[in-house]
Amino acid sequence: MAGRRACPLRAGGRASIVAGDHDRRSDCLTVAGDPLVAVIGGGPAGLMAAEAAAAVGARVALYEAMPSVGRKFLLAGKGGLNLTHGEDPASLLARYGDRQARLRPLIASFDAAALRAWARSLGVETFVGSSGRVFPASMKAAPLLRAWLRRLRLGGVEFHVRHRWCGWSEGGALRFAAPGGHREITASATVLALGGGSWARLGSDAAWVPLLAGRGIGIAPLRPSNCGFEAAWSAHLRARQAGQPVKPVIVTLVCAGQRAWSLRGELILTAYGVEGGVIYTLSAAIREEIARHGTATIRLDLAPGRDEARLAEALARPRGAHSIAKHLHRRVGIEGAKSALLHEILPADAFSDPSRLAAAIKALPVTLIAPRPMDEAISTAGGVRFEELDDTLMLSRLPGVFCAGEMLDWEAPTGGYLLTACFASGRAAGIGASAWLQRAR
């Protein structure tokens, strides 16, 4: 067909000229002829959708509102890019809660092993850490992103940054606010990979919600996930302990007065409440408990592995002239932020009762009153309901329009699970869009 470009991703063909990418080239060259797959959003899901579509010969253009693509991806990898997790498939899928059935075929088609092989194909070796998390050998996101963008450019993917999607025109064209003014693009298939509602400064601002809702698309309300929670700390604790870790600690979530589950890890005291890995993992359940009852109670075991009776016995020993803080340190190893939490929550007379104090050390109740604002969260829950999508992630109400990534209604804890589902759903949407394009020809 006239105008068709060779696709190096597929068959080692020549590179095309692309516009507005990290090289900041300003001239936009598009090649007329073939129908277009438009990918909107330059995060992991959008980039993977573009790669999947281009790999089977589709002409692909990617549009990103920010000045460059992959900004949240780069920031997420600043302390070490956690690509995926090495646990067994059943355990991995369980991390997606009640959405695991819908995500199972997507992740099965591009699982942790496939993701690691994909990274290797970009020249990025990975390793499995002691926790099961998978990282690039360099621990950095930037080398992987650079190699990925290089391959996409060679595959003919056009990049258009500073293009903010504004919905559709009356004639069905995609509308963008761009540096030169408003643009309208006619696409034969569209992949929306616009992210959730966290970290708006990096592009995930949920501006797409009213655009899709206005077309009758069912959207579950966006809510913070992998976030911190507020507690009514005293001014003294805020001033003295904000930023201090509490570790090791076992956090037990109490739902409706009954134990739900326990998790060992680390939490961080903040001026507003608590955050940290163990809190993020439990954030969905904590958030829902607050939504149902107004508050959520977590119980902290400040002395993991130590028996309550033996703690009480140690605390019952005479402390002589030592302060209670010194006594806690000497007898049971409680100091710093852990000691401060005990003083924050317990009445003064509890410290003279060894049994009562030991019980508190093993199950200190902390009341959480609200999640932090969504824009502070690592990720969000909610989004386009799966009932609106077919098995290829196409919107039933908008044929030819596909959705991927965090804008779908699922959530998962940190640990590589977020990126795993973003990559897998992006790939599925890109394959679906290219298949739709082929059928439409």
What global pTM score does this model have? 0.88
Write down all domains in the chain, each with its CATH number in brackets. Answer: 8-223+380-440 (3.50.50.60), 229-371 (no CATH)
Nearest alpha carbon to residue 423 among 106, 177, 27, 154 = 106
Q: What is the pLDDT of residue 8?
A: 38
Angle, to 10 degrees, between the axis of helix 354-362 and the axis of helix 336-345?
110
8 Å CB contact between 96 and 412: yes
Rounded to whole angstroms, the Cα distance separating 374 from 377 reads 5
8 Å CB contact between 73 and 43: yes
- The residue type of 417 is Y
Rounded to whole angstroms, the Cα distance separating 175 from 184 reads 5
8 Å CB contact between 134 and 85: yes
pLDDT in 10s for each residue of the chain, 441 residues: 333 333 334 433 323 323 333 333 333 333 344 689 999 999 999 999 999 999 999 999 999 999 999 999 998 878 789 999 999 999 999 999 999 999 999 999 999 999 999 999 999 999 999 999 999 999 999 999 999 999 999 999 999 999 999 999 999 999 999 998 999 999 999 999 999 999 898 999 999 999 999 999 999 999 999 999 999 999 999 999 999 999 999 999 988 766 678 899 999 999 999 999 999 999 999 999 999 999 999 999 999 999 999 999 999 999 888 889 899 999 999 999 999 999 999 999 999 999 999 999 999 999 999 999 999 999 999 999 999 999 999 999 999 999 999 999 999 999 999 999 999 999 999 999 999 998 877
Q: What is the pLDDT of residue 320?
A: 84
Which residue has tokens 């508050």?
295
The tokens for 143 are: 């080398």
How distant is the alpha carbon of residue 215 from its chain centre? Answer: 26
